[in-house]
A and B are shown apart, each in its own frame.
Chain A
Amino acid sequence: MRSEDGGESKVGKQLYITPQNTQTRSQKTTQATPQNPAPETTNQNHTPQATGLRPQKTEMKKYTYTDKKDTRSGFGAGLLEAGRKNDQVVALCADLIGSLKMNDFIKEFPERFVQVGIAEANMMCIAAGMTIGGKIPFTGTFANFSTGRVYDQIRQSIAYSNKNVKVCASHAGLTLGEDGATHQILEDIGLMKMLPGMTVINTCDYNQTKAATIAIAEYEGPVYLRFGRPVVPIFTDADQKFEIGKAWMVNEGADVSIFATGHLVWQAILAGEILAEQGIDAEIINIHTIKPLDAEAVLKSVAKTGCVVTAEEHNRLGGLGDSIAQVLATHTPAPQEYIAVNDSFGESGTPEQLMTKYGLDAEHIVLAAKKVIERKNKNA
């Protein structure tokens, strides 16, 4: 990969590009230039040579950013805006107002906020009850206490009862960091997606989280919205329209499909840049809605690339990877590699350390992509 000033990128040596190295956010350079030939002319991706050994470099859309924020702040901003748009929106919290960034909503709409204390089961069922009378409740606590702790409450009073509750979960996954495994749920996507009628969304940056929060208020039905604590680059558009159930094409490519969710999307972009540098043309698709899954987008992409990497901050059992695998297995089986936690609990550490240790970073996505392309070519 070539950075915009023509010099070598530092990607791969560091997890996140520093803001000083970037120009405008979301500047996309899809047009071929003399210095950067069009991908079509360089790709021999369906031949056995396409294993990253080609001298030619491919090109991918540039994603840069000027700011980084936690996705939970996107939720806080989205909640405030959803509250302004619709006076039926109410918020509930189980003693984690600051962590969920609900302060602005509470300040503006104190009468529409319910502090339930450390009683998540009660919170979920109060939220279910508030829908009777037309309210649109948003519950806020950590992902662990939003799902595993209250599974039966969500199952009976929200999902089975088809109540219009938005279960909003921060601090999902390992990147909650130092608190350790008691708080680092890696099973929540699986738990929630198994509930009939539940929509499951995992957003990738501040802007997408804000847009998703506003969108789910306008959608009728139970939703699980997952976001997190780590500060990650803001690379999606501030004025985006969030479409529930619609995959977002991050970068078109032909050699491998990388389906990523949550802040692993940024790692997939970094991986895509490394792969392009090595002549591998990765298609990167953001699956922000894990359920209902955009199966059409998945199948269309894999029909082109023939192999798959899935990337998520979740147990490899039951997450995005399994959803994709199920679609492929029943339509067009294809080799797949998982970037996910390998059926284990987490541990204490900084988010960056944990992402590296558990293999949830750009470098591991690169390795997985090469491996799966090799498998594809062996099968060919």
Chain B
Amino acid sequence: MKADIQELEKTASQIRRDIVRMVHGCQSGHPGGSLGCTEYFTALYFSAMNHDPKFNMDGIGEDLFFLSNGHISPVFYSTLAHAGYYDKAELATFRKLNSRLQGHPTTHEHLPGIRIASGSLGQGLSVAIGAALAKKLNGDKSLVFTLHGDGELQEGQIWEAAMFAPHNKVDNLISTIDVNGQQIDGPTNLVLSLGDLHAKWVAFGWDVLEMKGNDMADVVKTLELAKSRTGQGKPIMILMHTEMGYGVDFMAGSHKWHGVAPNDEQLKLALAQLEETLGDY
């Protein structure tokens, strides 16, 4: 394994600082899911994926990532900046007028690293399948990754895509669901139960893995395991168990920080818990 877990954890800490500063800076945005998925993004862009920050939309010969639950854009934007897609100073423009860092990711502003708009939920799995099919047609052996929220699975289109991918042996696709059990209106099991997710994806014909999403070593290891299981006729689904708001104690574990920005005092409290490792933007 090429990854140095400690280095990745340092990067994740900086990304978490960026997330809370970004949502504080514009007093809007979604810190909860962003903080919960920070290990995943860090492991993906600094370990698992073969990608080029010079950015070419078609991404021939490189691994691609699609964020389907676009509202966790802060973690995506910060990760892309630290991975070299653009200057981290641009993070200060998040959600502000004339920014390339729109509330939800978009290609419209030509921000390097973004290949599709997302935000309206349920579309990203289909998009990723399309990109994976194009790779197969192009004889391109690289992979396609995609991330979804668990609440997002309430969208019907997810299950259209879930049915399509195994039937068509889209086995160059590694999807992940952020299973944090929370959505805007409350815990998913109160809003609309997701049931036995593992059994559901197995029943649809996917190769299903589970991982501890806030354990960097486990995320790195599971992504490598997933990569090793591509090309075997089945799409891969990773059920990633996370805590919404992980890394900031007063935000952790509650849907209340799904889409709320911290005030000045809360920001100070949050930053005190997150080591500045790569320099704030």
- Which A residues are within 8 Å of any B CB, using their own CB? 90, 111-112, 114, 116-117, 119, 121-135, 137, 152-153, 155-157, 160-163
The 6 closest A-B pairs by CB, nearest first: A129-B130, A133-B134, A125-B126, A122-B160, A119-B160, A126-B130
**Most chain A CB inside 10 Å of its own CB: which residue of B127, B133, B135, B168:** B127
Name B75-134 residues within 8 Å CB distance of A: 106-108, 115-120, 122-124, 126-134
CB of A125 within 8 A of CB of B163, answer: no
- Closest-by-CB residue of A relative to B167 is A117
Q: Which secondary structure dominates where chain A touches chain B?
A: helix
B101 → A minimal CB distance (Å): 16
The 8 Å CB contact of B126, one of A126, A131, A132, A161, is A126
Q: How far is the CA of A274 from the CA of B152 in the complex (A)?
A: 59
CB of B164 within 8 A of CB of A125, answer: no
What residues of chain A lie closer than 8 Å to B215, measured between beta carbons?
none
The 8 Å CB contact of A157, one of B58, B117, B160, B168, is B117
Q: How far is the CA of A121 from the CA of B57 in the complex (A)?
A: 23
A83 → B minimal CB distance (Å): 13
Given A122-B160, A156-B118, A157-B123, do A128 and B138 touch, yes or no (CB 8 Å)? no
- Closest-by-CB residue of A relative to B115 is A132
B266 contacts the other chain (Cβ, under 8 Å)?
no
Given A121-B126, A160-B106, A161-B108, do A129 and B134 touch, yes or no (CB 8 Å)? yes
What are some 6 contacts across the A-B interface (CB < 8 A)? Answer: A126-B126, A128-B130, A129-B130, A133-B59, A133-B60, A160-B106
What residues of chain B lie closer than 8 Å to A137, measured between beta carbons?
130
The 8 Å CB contact of A121, one of B64, B128, B133, B157, is B157
| B49-80 Cβ-contact flags toward A at 8 Å (1 or 0) | 00000000111100010100000000000000
CB of B137 within 8 A of CB of A160, answer: no
CB of B108 within 8 A of CB of A162, answer: yes
B9 contacts the other chain (Cβ, under 8 Å)?
no
CB of A132 within 8 A of CB of B163, answer: no
CB of B134 within 8 A of CB of A152, answer: no
What residues of chain A lie closer than 8 Å to B157, measured between beta carbons?
119, 121-122, 125, 153
How many of B's residues come within 8 Å of A, CB to CB? 38
What residues of chain A lie closer than 8 Å to B118, measured between beta carbons?
156
Name B149-202 residues within 8 Å CB distance of A: 156-157, 160-161, 163-164, 168
B276 contacts the other chain (Cβ, under 8 Å)?
no
- Closest-by-CB residue of B relative to A157 is B123
Q: How far is the CA of A135 from the CA of B133 in the complex (A)?
A: 10
B140 contacts the other chain (Cβ, under 8 Å)?
yes
- Closest-by-CB residue of B relative to A163 is B116
CB of A162 within 8 A of CB of B126, answer: no
CB of A128 within 8 A of CB of B134, answer: no
What residues of chain A lie closer than 8 Å to B115, measured between beta carbons?
132
CB of A126 within 8 A of CB of B138, answer: no
CB of B106 within 8 A of CB of A161, answer: yes
What residues of chain A lie closer than 8 Å to B108, measured between beta carbons?
160-162
A22 → B minimal CB distance (Å): 45
B143 → A minimal CB distance (Å): 13
Q: How far is the CA of A137 from the CA of B130 in the complex (A)?
A: 10
What residues of chain B lie closer than 8 Å to A162, measured between beta carbons?
107-108
- Closest-by-CB residue of B relative to A121 is B157
Q: How far is the CA of A114 from the CA of B140 in the complex (A)?
A: 18
CB of A157 within 8 A of CB of B137, answer: no
Q: A116-B164, A125-B127, A126-B130 are in contact. List 10 more A-B contacts (CB 8 A).
A: A126-B126, A129-B66, A129-B116, A129-B126, A132-B116, A133-B137, A152-B123, A155-B120, A156-B117, A162-B108
CB of B134 within 8 A of CB of A132, answer: yes
Given A114-B133, A122-B157, do A161 and B117 touch, yes or no (CB 8 Å)? yes
CB of A130 within 8 A of CB of B123, answer: no
- Closest-by-CB residue of A relative to B106 is A160
Q: How far is the CA of A128 from the CA of B131 in the complex (A)?
A: 8
Q: How far is the CA of A29 from the CA of B41 in the complex (A)?
A: 69
What residues of chain A lie closer than 8 Å to B123, measured between beta carbons?
121, 125, 152-153, 156-157
